[in-house]
Structure 1
Amino acid sequence: MRILLVERDQRLARCVAADLRRQGYEVDQAARGGEALRSCRQADMVLLDLSLPDLPGPHVCRDIRAIADVPVLALSGDRTEATRVRALRAGADDCLDKPFGFRELVARIEAIMRRAGAARPPETAPVPDLPVTTDAAARVARVGERELSLTEKEFDLLHLLVSRPGTVVSREEIMAKVWGAPWNSRSRTVDTHVGSLRKKLGHDEWIATVRGVGFRFAPTGHPAPAGPIEVPVRAGGSGRRAARPQKTAPLSVVLAS
């Protein structure tokens, strides 16, 4: 099992890495968030210090979970509930306060890997080639060869959607992972940013609105979202159009003799 240890305190990192290797783990080390994003795909688990010198720990955690199917154990140095909550909302599987005992660290690693093994599907469908690409480490998004000019939150939102093509991402999840806040049904923050992204992408239909749920990245050539879609009202309209009911195939029943 290969562990990526992301820790700014190099003295602590050397001690933890040496102890893990004595337990039979393979250990790669990184001291910055950018290094972690470049190396996380090769790891079976990431131990992530939340106090990194280049990027906020929760942001790194969110980006790791977006680009790699790898469990994350966050390591918190300030021992506050707020920090633990931010880490868990960013996608960490668990959060361990520093200083910690090595036996507890190993026990938490084993517990997370048991849960991850039970939850992992037997096969994972290959990710199709997409017209939009995002680089979490460089924080660059492109449509083909054209680089997009995005705000911080626009990039985070696009990266979340593009990393899960064809999957509906709820407004609640978007608010938690991009803004680190609970979703308010009266807020238009998510919708406003989606509208801005559609303009910058140049294709309104690439980010589909799934009524009552959230948004789905479905570029041309990929499956359209299931369920009714909100249709924008043209100027002069009096309200939102009703969702068109989907046709269903007639049901046939075969009775066994």
Structure 2
Amino acid sequence: MKILVVDDEKLLVKGMKFNLENEGYEVECAYDGAAAVEMAREGKFNLIVLDVMMPEVDGLEACMRIREFSNVPVIMLTAKSEDADKLMGFECGADDYLTKPFNVLELKARVRALLRRAAGVQRSRGSLLTAGELTLNTEERTAMRAGESVELTAKEYDLITLLMRNPRRVYSRENLMNVVWGYSYAGDYRTVDVHIRRLREKLERNPAEPEHICTKWGVGYYFKE
């Protein structure tokens, strides 16, 4: 497994590289967002650890650029801990978030977990997300179940894409509303429930007992591979 570590704090990068290599990973390093994008474009990394606060091209911008051509898993690093900052990271395409200062054991655990998720939801270098009978083409914004095309609305597609890119991550209705509909949306949180129901009707074999689009009672929704 090959990991790209990106941060303008060179001492921190050195420490992450040392600890990840001790876990058996091959690690390459970059110190700004522009370099990260160019290195990611080669498509040789299984995961990217990307700092948010960098000069010129910051981590959020770099993540958005990477998402234009790759679904490689991304862990964002930041000194900020507010939910709004985390949601912004997810909107830009991040898969996970780690707040500085962090314990290196937590970094290792998140790396292992994210690589496991990425193995469950097969990610192509270009555009495909697959799980069981479901396939999304994120470039063409199309969906298929058991080889047959499924028509989704724009919001349905955005919602299932977010869930499939982050399997087993539980999202509350509020989080889904913020990420998929935007912070300024004034609608009722039950809008999320309606879209989840429609997705189950369109994508699940048995909507009453969904295999993939699951509910964590009292918390929210998540995607199971």
Same fold by TM-score, threshold 0.5 exceeded?
Answer: yes
Could you tell me which residue of structure 1 aligns to residue 30 of structure 2? 30
CA contact (8 A) 1:89 1:180 kept: no
Alpha-carbon displacement from aligned partner over 1:140-168 (angstroms, at most 9, x marks no partner): xxxxxxxxxxxxxxxxxxxxxxx954325
Q: Which runs of 5+ in 2 are unaligned?
A: 128-136, 143-151, 159-177, 187-225
Give the alignment's Cα RMSD to 1 decimal. 3.2
Could you tell me which residue of structure 1 aligns to residue 210 of structure 2? none
Query: What amino acid does structure 2 have at the position aligned with 1:77?
Result: A
CA drift of 1:47 comes to 0.2
Where does 1:70-85 land on structure 2 (aligned, <5 Å)? 70-85=72-87
CA drift of 1:79 comes to 2.4
Aligned match for 2:115, one of 109, 113, 117: 113
Q: Distance in 2 between matches of 1:182 and 1:171?
A: 17
Could you tell me which residue of structure 2 aligns to residue 21 of structure 1? 21
Secondary structure of the residue that 2:68 maps to in structure 1?
helix
How many residues in Structure 1 have an aligned counterpart in Structure 2? 148
Change (3 A) 1:180 1:38: farther
Change (3 A) 1:126 1:42: closer
Q: Distance in 1 between matches of 2:100 and 2:125?
A: 38
Could you tell me which residue of structure 2 aligns to residue 166 of structure 1? 140
Query: What amino acid does structure 2 have at the position aligned with 1:120?
Result: Q
Alpha-carbon displacement from aligned partner over 1:88-127 (angstroms, at most 9, x marks no partner): 1211111010111111111101111111111116xx5978
Could you tell me which residue of structure 1 aligns to residue 55 of structure 2? 53
Q: TM-score, normalised by structure 1?
A: 0.50
| Residue 97 (structure 2) pairs with residue 95 (structure 1) | yes
Give the structure with the larger strand fraction: 2
Change (3 A) 1:70 1:125: closer
Runs (4+) of structure 1 exceeding 3 A deviation are: 124-127, 168-173, 179-185
Aligned match for 1:44, one of 43, 46, 49: 46
Alpha-carbon displacement from aligned partner over 1:39-95 (angstroms, at most 9, x marks no partner): 112211000101111123222112212211200011111222221111112111110
Where does 1:102-181 land on structure 2 (aligned, <5 Å)? 102-120=104-122, 164-168=138-142, 171-172=154-155, 173=158, 181=182
CA drift of 1:23 comes to 1.5
Query: What amino acid does structure 2 have at the position aligned with 1:24?
Result: G
| Residue 88 (structure 2) pairs with residue 86 (structure 1) | yes
Where does 1:202-241 land on structure 2 (aligned, <5 Å)? none
| Residue 18 (structure 2) pairs with residue 6 (structure 1) | no
Q: Which runs of 5+ in 1 are unaligned?
A: 128-162, 186-257
Secondary structure of the residue that 1:24 maps to in structure 2?
coil
Could you tell me which residue of structure 2 aligns to residue 248 of structure 1? none
Change (3 A) 1:184 1:101: closer
CA contact (8 A) 2:5 2:28 kept: yes
CA contact (8 A) 1:77 1:97 kept: yes
CA contact (8 A) 2:32 2:58 kept: no
CA drift of 1:184 comes to 5.1
Query: What amino acid does structure 1 have at the position aligned with 2:8?
Result: R
Secondary structure of the residue that 1:47 maps to in structure 2?
strand
Query: What amino acid does structure 1 have at the position aligned with 2:120?
Result: A
Q: Distance in 1 between matches of 2:139 and 2:55?
A: 32
Secondary structure of the residue that 1:74 maps to in structure 2?
strand
